[in-house]
Amino acid sequence: MSTRSYESRDSFRPNGGKGGRRLVSQAQAPGKLYLAGEYAVVETGHPALLVAVDRFLTVRVFDAESARTPASASVTATSDTGSDWQTGRIESLQHPQASTGWHRERGVLTADTPSSESAYLLAAITTVEALAAQQGMAMRCFDLEVSSDLDAQSGHKYGLGSSAAVCVATVSALLDFYGLVLEPLETYKLVYLASGRAQNLGSGGDLAASFYGGCIRFCSPDRAWVREALEGGVPISQLISKPWPGLSISRIKAFDVFSPLRLLVGWTGSPASTPSLVAQVREGSGQGNETTYQEFLAQSDAAVDSLAQALSQADMILVTEAMAQARSLLRSLSTLTDTPIETPALQVLVESALVAGAAAKSSGAGGGDCGIAIIGPEASDRRGWQSSGPQASLEAQAQAIGQSWTRQGIKPLGLNVVMPLAEVEVWPLVNGVDDGTADSSGSPQADTSGAGQTEGHVVSEAVADSLLAPGSADDNPDSRRKNDHIRLALDQQAHYKPNGFDDLRFVHHSLAAVDPSQVDLSTSVCGADWHVPIYINAMTGGSAQAARINVGLARAAQATGIAMATGSQHAAIRHPQLTSTFTPIRQELTGFIFANVGPTVTPAQARQAVEMLDADALQIHVNPVQEMVMPEGDREFNSWIDRIGQIAQESPVPVVVKEVGFGLSRKTLELLASVGIHTVDLSGRGGTDFAQIENQRRERRDYWYMGGWGQSTALCLLDAGYPTPAGPAILASGGVRSPLDVVKALALGAQAVGVSGHFLRTFTQEGEGGLVVEIRNWIDQIRALMALLGASAVTNLSRTDLLVLGQTGQEARLLGVDLEALARRA
């Protein structure tokens, strides 16, 4: 088997970076588009709907102090700022003219060569550092690098809000750099203040969409109040913690993982100047047109909330009506103020989409830039797209609109709505209208009627229904089976399940603890160095819904620096058109990726799976129980061990053999070692039960008694490691519900621990941002637990005292495990 040099990849080295610089933090911010309310939102208290889209701007912060000599980054201590003179550099990869050095003298940061392109960067830096200074922190040297795919490669701007993304990403990265932890709403307010340093305070809707992600309903703050607070000298730390009059931000449940609606975006090729257009409208609305303008605002509010309700309900008929109303209002405003909002090119874009059965309008200030179209199953049915199945009908409709746009000089951008990135309350619906429960801080109050409950509750109820709703299933047997697996796995995750980890108890030693700062979480897997011992384990792929999940999981892995395994790639190997449900993983994740096949593929097909993802290792899943119960299962088991050996011998990357929730016995590990397998994932009982899942897919459900088959992960770990290790290196997964389960698995010899069900449920309930927060919390808590146990490194956990009780203890004794020795290892 050939080997790969992992050391050549910066993504595996926490201290990697150009020229030996140490990458300290990084943040991404997506682009944005307005759906409705784009002109009304400039007035305080009037809502707009926006979405974040999957083109990103990335800001990376490098610790310049560790890479410069004292001559180039001298630091002379003072009582106020920590230095008299500090230097650093700002690099823009797409716009080199915006690159500049910076220097800080007596606490004042200045660009060496100021430019309009760097204004937002400097404003964000200055704002965050003002907050840091108010917290008593010394300023630090850093280099800041900006990369972006928000604009065309030619340099033309698509109108996706690059200035907003710069502010969001820079503020987020520098907050992390300085170790400042804020609530999401506080962070948004800080971003808003940063943007206001670069130009006059705007509505802030673009900033909110880029920060919160997903689809949001937004009302701008009272800008006069904010300006007065700033001019009155209110410290930033106090200002961001105060309620802001008028500010309201809430989540609209639309375009999420399971929504049947799709957003299409076309670019006219003509850039627009939003500030000048907005100024022209505001000037025109005040020239004896005040009454008519107020009527426009009231009608816009109604159109926005009608569209919010329609999107939340995924009702395409209501979406069409609300979008038509919003478009009509913009055209009336254009006439009233003599402002060119819907240009001829935008009219062509909109009307060609309408002919194809979509809802459509211009997006944002108009005058050029982008237009949007929304399609869904009801519209495609009415237009005759349904003949080849619901998913295929939407694809055909989208393709027809894209082709029509292209013929008429409109560029389809192929954008998707980004999953939620930060927590915010769901917009309350009472008879389809905002019930006014938004408080002065901008967050809606809890709605006890059932319509405005927390976001997680709404999603968990919607999962089963939306997966089976017309138009949400893929027209392919493999894809439909994958969607069944997602739905049924989430059903199992809805309830806490005890498992073998509950039988493991650490012996507490009060004076054994070490400082958390001394704990090193790094580990080695398949020859690669990981900075944390957890990873997102194999889940799904092979359907449109699975693709959306994989994109969100990959982005969360990228944001947190952990590895990820994809689900089985057999569907893409059999149906090449499904390759696109897997390839976005590598597009989103630069770190360690496991490809995934079963033992029924050929070595050539295994290589195909690796190449599909540019994967760093290959999982071979062995699932005889699942195949036996699965109605369409492959039951030719005799050749599996030989196939595994052949794949391992010819694989270009390390191979890991894993179960799918039934556990690998010691006998199995020894057999795998004999054919050249060096790493296994035990994947024991305790998490997702695929015997139950496949039985629920059977017409008679006659394998009901197979639930609970196999060994728990805890028992597999004991069987594999005691009294002596069985041979292959051990990864553990299956029923991992908490950081404590992770630490228990590591204490029993696992090099790293995979998590599937819990992370999937978190993602579907709380979105991409919620999953990022959860993973980071787990990492922090794993560190805390290891410190409590006196383990300054992962390998030190093997010397902790562990009690094995209950059923797991009884079964382990029958397998010959010396439990008394485990209890006295320290």
796 annotated as a binding-site residue: no
Strands 593-597 and 563-565: parallel
347 annotated as a binding-site residue: no
Q: Which stretches of 449-543 are DSSP H helices?
A: 455-468, 477-493
Rounded to whole angstroms, the Cα distance separating 87 from 550 reads 41
The whole-number pLDDT of residue 9 equals 29
Instruction: Estimate to the nearest angstrom the gap between the alpha carbon of 337 and the chain centroid.
Output: 41
530 SS3 class: strand
* Domains assigned to the chain: 8-251 (3.30.230.10), 256-415 (3.30.70.890), 478-505+529-781 (3.20.20.70)
Q: Kindly report, residue by residue over 812-826, the tens digit of the pLDDT.
A: 999 999 999 999 998
537 annotated as a binding-site residue: no
645 annotated as a binding-site residue: no
Please choose, from the candidates 256, 308, 765, 323, the residue with its C-alpha nearest in 3D space to the C-alpha of residue 472: 256
509 SS3 class: coil
DSSP H or E stretch at residue 26: strand 22-36
539 annotated as a binding-site residue: yes
Q: What are phi and psi of 426, to 5 degrees?
A: -75, 140
Rounded to whole angstroms, the Cα distance separating 319 from 18 reads 48
596 annotated as a binding-site residue: yes
Max alpha carbon distance in the chain (Å)?
91
Q: Kindly report, residue by residue over 684-737, the tens digit of the pLDDT.
A: 998 888 787 787 778 777 788 887 899 999 999 999 987 777 789 999 999 999
735 annotated as a binding-site residue: yes
419 annotated as a binding-site residue: no
518 annotated as a binding-site residue: no
Q: Do the beta carbons of residue 252 and residue 226 sit within 8 Å? A: no
419 SS3 class: coil
757 annotated as a binding-site residue: yes
473-506 per-residue burial string, b: 16 or more CB within 10 A, e: under 16: bbebebbbbbbbbbbbbbebbeeeeebbbbbbeb
Q: Which residues contact 291 (CB under 8 A, 6 or more apart)?
A: none
327 annotated as a binding-site residue: no
Whole-Å CA distances, 577 to 100, 452, 543: 45, 39, 10
The whole-number pLDDT of residue 7 equals 30
Beta-carbon count within 10 A of 83 CB:
21
Give the pTM: 0.57
**pLDDT under 70 in the chain at which residues?**
1-21, 65-84, 153-155, 257-258, 271-289, 366-368, 378-392, 428-497
312 annotated as a binding-site residue: no
